[in-house]
């Protein structure tokens, strides 16, 4: 944990930003590696372990993400693959310039840090968190960026100053929370007046719902994660060549005929495609929650929040929603 970011954190119990370093601490290059933070107002204590401040005490509905992202720590990093897949998705969704120096950005739900890596390269000050222990993978992948601060937190109770961030970003997360609209409303509180919120969420439409995922998930979401992963790791290599062929012959329709995902259309070499296919097929079947939304529902979220310049549309991962917080809000 970089000490210069301490002043931005708030106690999850009393909501004040009066956290202080407690005794028995371990430092390295102006970073707190191990120790405790204490709220001087209510005396609640938070641990810092392996450089990551911990504002949640236990995992619950996100155990599958902890498993997959620590197993596939580098699979989707552009710096690992050599392909700008995460870079392209991030900037295609956001429309942001690649130089964001002077901006404060909150990334909600980092996973192993595929977008954290790209965001850190913009020069902005990045706060990135996840409820799962994927934060361990993100920290190992991206701790060398001096402008990136990673913490273990809950989207429903984010331990940061409210109405503070120029940009709040949440990609591939909301559908996997127990209450997506409530999670969205939580994010709204952290956008500064004039700031921007961008999300994406799975789409609730017939073509999306008529998919192997929603036929098999009633079974797979309750399976032991290690067993499910072993099954997927065995099945994907067998079906992948057929799935690639179907995509070539029939496009997107062909890619949906088998119960796996694959990414030959992104130009990934076969070996990388196989890694991504195993990871994202597991990601498709393992989460406890998967709540797609409609265009109308997402648009209403932004409208109810009082946002301006609302733009809600279909994108590569479902629905993209964006809006700007009016100057007088919050």
210: confidence class by pLDDT, cuts 50, 70, 90: confident
Q: How far apart are CA 263 and CA 275, in angstroms?
A: 10
Paired tokens of 26 = 């371990």
For residue 326, what are the CA distances in angstroms to 193, 243, 296, 297, 323? 5, 46, 21, 21, 9
pLDDT tens figures, 112-169? 999 999 999 999 999 999 999 999 999 999 999 999 999 999 999 999 999 999 999 9
Element (H, E) at 13: none
- CB of 330 closer than 8 Å to CB of 189: yes
Length of the chain: 330
Average pLDDT score over residue span 87-93: 97
63: confidence class by pLDDT, cuts 50, 70, 90: confident
Helical residues (DSSP H) of the chain, grouped into ranges: 63-71, 78-81, 85-94, 114-120, 134-142, 180-188, 206-209, 212-220, 225-255, 270-285, 295-304
Concatenated DSSP letters for 150-164?
Answer: EEE-BTTB--B-SS-
Average pLDDT score over residue span 172-194: 98
How far is the first Cα of the chain from the last one, in angstroms, to the nearest whole number?
29
Supply φ then ψ for residue 21, to 5 degrees: -75, 130
90: confidence class by pLDDT, cuts 50, 70, 90: very high
Give the bridge partners for 10, in sequence order: none
pLDDT at 57 over 80: no
**What is the pLDDT, as a whole number, of residue 212?**
94
Q: How far apart are CA 263 and CA 283, in angstroms?
A: 14
**What is the pLDDT, as a whole number, of residue 59?**
64
pLDDT at 301 over 60: yes
Give the bridge partners for 199, in sequence order: 170, 321
Supply φ then ψ for residue 317, to 5 degrees: -115, 15
Query: What pTM does this model have?
Result: 0.95
**What is the pLDDT, as a whole number, of residue 330?**
43
Mean pLDDT, the chain, rounded, equals: 95
Of all residues in the chain, what percent carry a pLDDT higher than 70? 98
Pairing outcome for strands 191-201 and 318-324: antiparallel
pLDDT tens figures, 257-269? 999 999 999 999 9
Domains and CATH numbers, the chain: 1-54 (no CATH), 55-203+293-324 (3.40.50.150), 206-285 (no CATH)
Q: Count CA atoms closer than 13 A to 15's CA, side-chain side.
A: 3
């Amino acid at each position: 944990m970089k000490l210069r970011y301490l002043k931005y954190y708030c106690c999850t119990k009393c909501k004040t930003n009066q956290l202080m370093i407690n005794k028995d601490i371990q430092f390295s290059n102006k970073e707190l590696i191990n120790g405790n933070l204490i709220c001087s107002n209510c005396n609640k204590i938070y641990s810092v372990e392996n450089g990551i401040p911990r504002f949640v005490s236990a995992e619950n509905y996100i155990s599958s993400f902890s498993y997959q992202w620590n197993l596939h720590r580098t699979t989707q990093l552009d710096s690992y693959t050599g392909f700008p897949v995460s870079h392209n998705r991030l900037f295609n969704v956001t429309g942001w310039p690649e130089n964001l120096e002077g901006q404060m950005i909150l990334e909600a739900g980092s996973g192993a840090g595929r977008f954290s890596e790209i965001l850190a390269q913009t020069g902005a000050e990045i706060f990135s968190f996840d409820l799962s222990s994927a934060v361990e993978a993100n920290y190992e992948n991206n701790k060398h960026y001096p402008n990136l601060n990673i913490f273990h937190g809950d989207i429903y109770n984010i331990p940061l100053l409210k109405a503070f961030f120029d940009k709040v970003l949440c990609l591939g997360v909301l559908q996997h929370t127990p209450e997506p609209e409530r999670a969205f409303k939580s994010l709204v509180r952290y956008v500064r007046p004039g700031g921007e919120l961008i999300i994406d969420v799975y789409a609730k439409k017939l073509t999306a719902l008529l998919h192997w995922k929603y036929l098999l998930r009633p079974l797979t979401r309750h399976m032991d994660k290690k067993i499910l992963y072993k099954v997927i790791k065995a099945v994907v290599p067998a079906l992948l060549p057929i799935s690639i062929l179907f995509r070539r012959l029939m496009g997107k329709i062909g890619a949906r005929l088998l119960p796996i995902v694959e990414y030959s259309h992104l130009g990934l070499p076969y070996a990388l495609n196989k890694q991504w296919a195993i990871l994202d097929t597991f990601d498709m079947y393992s989460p406890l929650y998967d709540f797609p939304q409609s265009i109308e529902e997402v648009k209403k979220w932004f409208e109810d929040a009082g946002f301006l310049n609302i733009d809600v549309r279909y994108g590569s991962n479902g629905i993209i929603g964006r809006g700007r917080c009016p100057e007088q809000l919050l």
